[in-house]
Amino acid sequence: SERGGGGGAALRDAARRREARTAAALPKATVLDLSCNSLVSLPSDFCSLTHLVKLDLSKNRLQQLPVDFGRLVSLQHLDLLNNRLVTLPVSFAQLKLSLHYTPYSLPYLFHSWENQNLKWLDLKDNPLDPVLAKVAGDCLDEKQCKQAAVRVLQHMKAIQSEQDRERQQKLQAEREMEKKREAEQRAREAQERELRKREKAEEKERRRREYDAQRAAKQEAEKKTKKETAQTRKPASSSRAPQPARHRHSWSRSVLRALLLVLLCILCSLAVCKLTELRHQPLCVSVNTLYEDVVAAVQNHKTLQNMLQHNSQQ
């Protein structure tokens, strides 16, 4: 039945994978034939068979080889006929071929072999990339298969070199970018330092101007205060100068007032002694007598003045 057929195919695939794993468990193997097993892939530890010299993987269904296939450095004979390979891993270039040829020999026409690794390769009947297919060419006889090994190895080495160059260019570009970023960072830091330095200088200058302005204002205030003090002292001194005259004037007024008061007292006493009944008192008699003597003296003085005036006129 179909179910039975499908189960048989599964069993066959399992047996083939088991066979490939069993082969990978033989690290000292030098020849290995896994052809006609319908293998789709190789186990991860397959490339540990570094002693392999001849490997036959023809007539399987391999779509790709392991990435580290180049670890099979002892491999000299590789048959990949009739698989589903499109490309080969870049590590394939590690299957080195030491080729010595004369300067006049045509390309890929070897003259002698020494310490050769891979020297025979068959890639027929694979859906190879057009460029790889053209490089590999046919493998119809021993000579063509050897030439295919040389050309494919050279092609893969060129690819590896190109990838290495691109990787180096990428690393170089990354380093240059890193240097550029570091330079930009240093420039930014220098600019920031310069900005901080300029701001600090401006702040210092601003504080100095403020201090100078405050000191000038203080000096101006002190000058104004001194000027006002001088102006207030000058009128005070000028007002103190006439104080003696003022004191003299006030003293004369006091004296005049005292004289007027004495005169008023005399007049009052005289009026009392003349007009009241107290005129017969001893004090009033003395006052009246003194008054009459004074009046007589004044009259005599007026008579004397008239006589003198009359004599002067004559």
Structure confidence at residue 258 (pLDDT): 85
pLDDT at res. 9: 53
pLDDT band per the 50, 70, 90 thresholds, residue 253: confident
* Spatial contact of 132 and 159, defined as CB atoms under 8 Å apart: no
pLDDT digits (tens, 9 = 90+) for 120-136: 999 999 999 999 999 99
Between vectors from CA 147 to CA 82 and to CA 159, what angle results, nearest 5°? 80
Using CB atoms within 10 Å of the CB of residue 102, give its burial: 0 to 12 exposed, 13 to 18 middle, 19+ buried. exposed
Name which of 83-97, 130-144, 210-224, 258-272 the model is least confident about: 258-272
In angstroms, the CA 177 to CA 282 distance is: 143
What pLDDT score does 4 carry?
36
Residue 84, pLDDT above cutoff 80:
yes
Angle at 60 between CA 56 and CA 65, to 5 degrees: 75
Q: What is the pLDDT of residue 2?
A: 29
Tens digit of each residue's pLDDT (9 = 90 or more) over 17-37: 555 565 555 778 899 999 999
Mean per-residue pLDDT for 174-183?
A: 92
Comparing CA positions, the residue from 146, 29, 151 lying closest to residue 77 is: 146
**Token duo for residue 148:** 């295919």
> What's the mean per-residue pLDDT of the chain?
81
37-46, 126-135, 160-169, 249-258: least confidently modelled range: 249-258
What proportions of the chain, in percent to the nearest 5, are helix, strand and coil?
Answer: 65, 5, 30
Cβ atoms of residues 53 and 96 within 8 Å? no
Least confident of 31-45, 90-104, 223-237, 261-275: 90-104
> 94 or 295: whose pLDDT is higher?
94
Residue 231's pLDDT is: 81
Whether 34 and 23 have beta carbons less than 8 Å apart is answered as yes
pTM exceeds 0.85, yes or no:
no
In the chain, which residue ranges form alpha helices assigned H by DSSP?
2-24, 130-136, 142-240, 243-275, 282-313
Hey, what are 4's tokens?
Answer: 């039975």
Least confident of 123-127, 134-138, 156-160, 266-270: 266-270
- What local confidence, expressed as pLDDT, does residue 226 receive? 86
Q: What per-residue confidence (pLDDT) applies to 161?
A: 92
Name 37's Cβ contacts closer than 8 Å, sequence gap at least 6: 16, 19, 20, 60
- What's the number of CA atoms in the CB half-sphere (13 Å) around residue 72? 26
Angle at 53 between CA 157 and CA 110, to 5 degrees: 50
User: Which range, 114-123, 128-137, 246-255, 296-305, is most confident?
Assistant: 128-137
Q: Report the distance separating Cα 98 and Cα 112, nearest Å.
A: 9
